[in-house]
């Protein structure tokens, strides 16, 4: 759990795959958190998935387990944006 971050308020599409969640997470990190696109594209994840059971009209949070602790810290420090 040390290398995990939880992201919320990211729209969820019906029958979304984990690969789609990764791409949505990269876009979120680039656009909302203002991490450079080249850095966001190089972020390595061990696992990315949505938490909980799918419910109509509710976006579930995304849990991202980063491969590298330094990358996690870089994203975490941009949290205020």
Query: For 25-75, how does the pLDDT look when each residue is reduced to its tens digit (9 = 90+)?
Result: 999 999 999 999 999 999 999 999 999 998 888 999 999 999 999 999 999
What pLDDT score was predicted for residue 79? 82
Tally of CB atoms within 10 A around 9: 9
Q: Which CATH number fits domain 4-76: 1.10.760.10, 3.40.50.2300, 3.40.50.300, 3.30.70.1820?
A: 3.30.70.1820
Name the token pair of 18. Answer: 């984990």
pLDDT of residue 11: 93
pTM equals 0.87
């Amino acid at each position: 759990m040390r290398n995990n971050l939880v992201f919320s308020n990211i729209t969820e599409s019906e029958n979304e795959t984990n690969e789609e969640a990764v791409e949505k997470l990269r876009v979120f990190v680039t656009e909302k958190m203002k991490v450079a696109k080249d850095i966001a594209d190089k972020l390595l994840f061990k696992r990315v998935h949505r938490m909980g059971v799918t419910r109509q009209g509710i976006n579930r949070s995304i849990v991202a387990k980063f491969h590298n602790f330094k990358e996690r810290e870089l994203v975490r420090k941009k949290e205020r944006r």
